[in-house]
Amino acid sequence: ATIASPNVTFDDAIENIDIGGPSMLRSAAKNFAHVLPVVDPRDYPQVLELLAAGEIPLDVRQDFAAKVFTHTADYDNAIAGFLTPRDEALPERIALSMERQQTLRYGENPQQRAGLYVSEEPRGIGDLAQRQGKELSFNNLLDIDAGMLAVSAWRQRPACVIIKHTTPCGIAIGRTAAEAFTRARSTDPVSAFGSVIAFNTVVDRAAAEAMADLFVEVVTAPAFNSDALAVFATRKNLRLVELPVPSGTSQLDWKRIRGGFLLQESFAFDPSEAEWRVATVRQPTAVELDDLRFAWAAVSMVKSNAILLARHEAAIGIGAGQMSRVDASFLAVHKARQAGHDPAGAALASDGFFPFPDGVEAAAASGVSAIIQPGGSVKDDEVIAAADRLGLAMILTGKRMFRH
């Protein structure tokens, strides 16, 4: 707990390293055949029951001993982490320790075993509280995490994101949670079936009633008020999950690869416009600028290559996970029209630069009037020239937002 304090000094941390406690615990654990080593206060009720029942079985003592060694290893790992020098904010050595919180029925597919392991990361999945519904699945948990990360891009206004296979199929902000949901659903009503719906605000009765006719797997939010819970109670299988919105403070993000891990700082959307510049002759209108701001935040949560069309601060077409950016543009326009949206006058956001003018030309042909993208292509001049020739406004942000 000492090193968790933001004001701890190095000398205080060293002075508070416990030597005797871990030594006694390890000694007791080594001798588990003759004693019962107890390290976790949560085990006290079980210990009392075991003592009342008589002799404690050897296998139970061994389980308790294993828990002691795990606990002291965690303690040593915390000390090692504190003492390990950091190179550009990344540690030279990492000892990863997590506790299994839940055994899951299966993984991504029924033939794969799976479990949920949690760390002590603040506002993380360890803080999840399920209010009702069936047991959460492996895929549910992936989508819950993706949804809460997606809504974290908006701090001041109610936002709703509808998730399928960890990528958004609907995104919108509104004056209320209910309005945000209704507008997010209109992005792609077909894909919203069987989804996970995430909010960055408390879900109330109006929002719960707005979802009444839609089959969804999970609704997740920071909280549900009692009226909303009463509405949802008629849908016994619907999973309701309370989970804090990510804080946006820097954490470490792990990507598993065969034989190791890739480590990076977790992505957090940056709303700053300090590096933005209008690259075209035509400036965006005030309405276009609002939609460009929304689209830039929304596209940051879409799998690359990602193109998103927006109007009135709601997504109307999403092209996700395409191998070429021009195909992502085509798909976003196709999805918009399929849902009954007219792309004319819409704003377009791209998570990466346009390598060629063809993506801009395809967007302009559909009626898109303004584009926001990172820039940085060797063909930026050709892309900007195409936007000028077609009468578009284009903002370059100077920041790429790939998501794999």
Burial of residue 55, with CB atoms counted within 10 A of its CB: 0-12 exposed, 13-18 middle, 19 or more buried: exposed
∠ CA(240), CA(243), CA(247), 5° rounding?
155
How do beta strands 347-350 and 195-199 pair? unpaired
Residue numbers annotated as active site: 30, 165
Cα–Cα distance between 288 and 286 in angstroms, integer?
Answer: 5
Whole-angstrom CA distances from 81 to 4, 18, 86, 329 are 12, 15, 9, 45
The answer to whether the peptide bond before residue 31 is cis (omega within 30 degrees of 0) is: no
Taking phi first (over 0 means left), then psi (-120 to 50 degrees means alpha), and beta for anything else, what does residue 165 get?
left
**Using N-to-C axis directions, what is the helix angle for 58-83 and 20-30, rounded to 10°?**
150
Number of helices (H) and strands (E) in the chain: give both, helices first: 12, 18
Q: Mapping DSSP to helix (H, G, I), strand (E, B) and coil, where does residue 209 land?
A: helix
Write down the residue that tokens 């060797």 correspond to: 378
3-class secondary structure per residue, 91-143: ECCCCCCCEEEEEECCCCCCCCCEEEEECCCCCCHHHCEEEECCCCCHHHHHH
Nearest to 203 by CA among 163, 176, 182: 176
Whole-angstrom CA distances from 251 to 91, 101, 379 are 12, 21, 35
- Token readout for 121 is 């990361």
Q: Return the exposure string of 262-300: e unless at least 16 CB atoms fall within 10 Å of the residue's CB, then b.
A: eeeeebebbeeeeebeebbebebeeebbebbbbbbbbbb
- Token readout for 294 is 């929304």
Residue type, 48: L
